[in-house]
């Protein structure tokens, strides 16, 4: 990557090579964000930082699980439910995963209709996505309540390694907080879309320009990230 530098008139432009060129490109905003809004760029930077945090949590969990000498609880038994006299391993987690993955589909459709400026369908699909997210958080609250009633604590559990409780509450709690904030954000933006704030240029948060539905896509970036993180949590915490 190199930055073009104009010298004397009539001469071909010179280019800065190496690290100086990279620094010049970013400083002059000629390459990195030339075709990207600051809102979208800042969301990507936030998601990158969040990726590091979730990665640290999952790596810590794997380190604790592989280093402990005490038997680790079997997730298929810990997260099982008895329904109609049948013992069903991971049934609640499977439903939670289905609900959250389905919400990615409705969010993608909301973004599509947003760029078509179909405010009614965009708002409805965003509210459906928020409903999926709220359902997920509700089922997670049920899961927490069940395990707490069975004796799971951050410092121990009745089935083996005490690190299990700390890992469970830390990882799922941090992810559940992200989903909760996402649901609030979805409802707030859906309300603005439905009222037509982006069409009449009503001043306020996220509605400073007429017809600017990009905030719907930015919200979608956050929501898809939350869904993707859950896939890794599901694989490493519940299936391992």
Paired strand residues for 3: 16
**Same domain assignment for residues 28 and 70:** no
Structural domain of 17: 1-35
Quote the pTM value. Answer: 0.82
* Angle, alpha carbons 108-110-112 (nearest 5°): 70
**Same domain assignment for residues 125 and 22:** no
Domain count, the chain: 2
Q: Which residue has the higher pLDDT, 36 or 1?
A: 36
**Same domain assignment for residues 10 and 50:** no
**Same domain assignment for residues 25 and 88:** no
CB atoms within 10 A of CB 226: 24
SS (H, E, C) 13-82: CEEECHHHHHHHHHHHCCCCCCCCCHHHHHHHHHHHHHHHHHHHHHHHHHHHHHHCCCCCCCHHHHCCEE
**Same domain assignment for residues 7 and 92:** no
**Same domain assignment for residues 71 and 177:** yes
Paired strand residues for 233: none
**Same domain assignment for residues 15 and 118:** no
Q: What pLDDT digit, counting tens, does each position of 207-239 carry? A: 556 667 888 999 999 999 999 999 999 999 898
**Same domain assignment for residues 68 and 158:** yes
**Same domain assignment for residues 72 and 139:** yes
The pLDDT of residue 32 is above 60: no
Closest to 109 (Cα-Cα) out of 120, 93, 97, 95: 120
Q: What pLDDT digit, counting tens, does each position of 179-207 carry? A: 999 999 999 999 999 988 887 766 666 65
């Amino acid at each position: 990557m190199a930055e073009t530098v104009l010298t004397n008139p009539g001469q071909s432009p010179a280019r800065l090579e190496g690290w100086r060129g990279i620094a010049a490109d970013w400083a002059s905003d000629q390459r990195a964000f030339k075709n990207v809004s600051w809102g979208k760029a800042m969301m990507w930077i936030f998601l990158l930082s969040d990726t590091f945090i979730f990665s640290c949590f999952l790596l810590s969990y794997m380190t604790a699980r592989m280093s402990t000498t005490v038997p680790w609880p079997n997730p298929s038994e810990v997260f099982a439910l008895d329904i109609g006299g049948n013992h069903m391993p991971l049934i609640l987690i499977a439903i939670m995963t289905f609900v959250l993955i389905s919400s990615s589909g409705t969010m993608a459709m909301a973004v599509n209709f947003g760029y078509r400026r179909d405010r009614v369908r965009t708002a409805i699909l965003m509210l459906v996505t928020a409903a999926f997210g709220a359902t997920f958080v509700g089922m997670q609250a049920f899961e927490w309540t069940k395990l707490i009633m069975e004796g799971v604590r951050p410092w121990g559990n009745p089935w083996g390694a005490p690190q299990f409780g700390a890992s469970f509450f830390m990882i799922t709690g941090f992810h559940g907080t992200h989903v909760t904030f996402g649901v609030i954000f979805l409802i707030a933006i859906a309300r603005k879309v439905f009222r037509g704030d982006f069409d009449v240029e009503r001043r306020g948060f996220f509605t400073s320009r007429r017809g600017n539905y990009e905030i719907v896509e930015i919200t979608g970036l956050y929501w898809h990230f939350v869904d993707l993180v859950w896939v890794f949590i599901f694989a490493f915490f519940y299936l391992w």
